[in-house]
Amino acid sequence: MISTRGNLYSIYAMLIAMAMFSLMDAVIKLLSARYPAMQVAALRGLTSLPLVLVYVYWRGAFTGMFKVRWSLHLLRAALGIAMLSLFTFGLRDVSMAEAYSIIFVAPALITALSVVFLKESVNAPRWIAVAVGLAGVVVVLRPTGEGLMSVGGAALLGAAVCYAISAIAGRLLSRTDRSEHMVLWLMLMVGAGASLLAAPRWVAIGAPDTFLLCALAVTGFLGQLAITEAFNKGEASSVAPFEYSALAWGLGLDWMLWNALPDRYTMVGAAIIIGSGIYLVRHEQVHASAEHP
């Protein structure tokens, strides 16, 4: 049984993870103004790869790294490339707070997709929460339909779908493959695959952006370690709601770096999406406790 102290430790780890990922996304937004979206996706994988290799070596996980389920690893890599490029493209013209509000619909999408791919049963309250979360996305993208037609909003929604499908593939992979191998092959394949796709329009990296690339590598790597630690040491129902602290970071970074603040539609929609997400997480915990007291 996980103790209250373990949950508190995991909550701190999750808050650190969201801070790191938010800083990483700010770097991605800065890079997206000067480099194509596919190239930024490639840089995300390539810059993190050296740190991932050191981590895998430290964990002694190179043994058996080729005995994996290649089909699912290739699927996750393709989804990772699509997600990163779509997210980068959408983030270029959209504030971080608005981007996060759209991406936060992923838990609802994962719940819906788990019925198809994992053959899980979803009861009526969970379907209602999924519908409420999707309604929140419509509010963020504007009830008038103007926001829904924006290319950036559509790209971010596509990124959320890719993330949700990748999460389902990750659940399937975790049944047979080590987490270190999952991270290693994802970064390696995303870096290599996105580099090949970005090669025809590759833009030379400017010397002033070296610092941004270092920040991209460190924040992404530390964020991944922190979020892994959070879910390993604490209960998901206690830890997962703190993922939404990324919105506070997004608001602060929007204001400090771009002097931008979200409008009322974004805030109302974000509240709806976050509420449905927290309900889904709590409901999952209650459901699991009832089945396995």
Residue ranges in the chain modelled with pLDDT below 70: 1-6, 120, 122, 142-149, 236-238, 282-293
Looking at the structure of the chain, the number of domains it has is 1
Quote the pLDDT of residue 131. Answer: 85
Quote the pLDDT of residue 247. Answer: 87
Quote the pLDDT of residue 146. Answer: 55
Residue 146 is classified by DSSP as T
Q: What is the pLDDT of residues 200-241, one digit of tens each?
A: 999 999 888 999 999 999 999 998 888 888 877 777 666 777
- Of the candidates 265, 276, 267, the one whose C-alpha atom is nearest the C-alpha of residue 139 is 265
Quote the pLDDT of residue 10. Answer: 83
| Distance, CA of 191 to CA of 196 (rounded, Å) | 9
Amino acid at 21: F
Cα–Cα distance list, 73 to 3, 114, 227 (Å): 34, 18, 20
Quote the pLDDT of residue 90. Answer: 92
As given in the structure block, the two tokens for residue 285 are 């915990």
The answer to whether residues 168 and 113 touch, using CB atoms and an 8 Å cutoff, is: yes
Question: Within 13 Å, how many C-alpha atoms sit on residue 40's CB side?
Answer: 28
Quote the pLDDT of residue 147. Answer: 52
The answer to whether residues 186 and 46 touch, using CB atoms and an 8 Å cutoff, is: no
Quote the pLDDT of residue 124. Answer: 80
Q: Which domain holds residue 267?
A: 4-291
Quote the pLDDT of residue 57. Answer: 93
Quote the pLDDT of residue 291. Answer: 47
First to last CA, the chain: 11
Cα–Cα–Cα angle for 229, 216, 56, rounded to 5 degrees: 45
| Distance, CA of 57 to CA of 112 (rounded, Å) | 37
Quote the pLDDT of residue 239. Answer: 76
- Of the candidates 128, 127, 139, the one whose C-alpha atom is nearest the C-alpha of residue 102 is 139
Quote the pLDDT of residue 209. Answer: 93
| Distance, CA of 106 to CA of 157 (rounded, Å) | 9
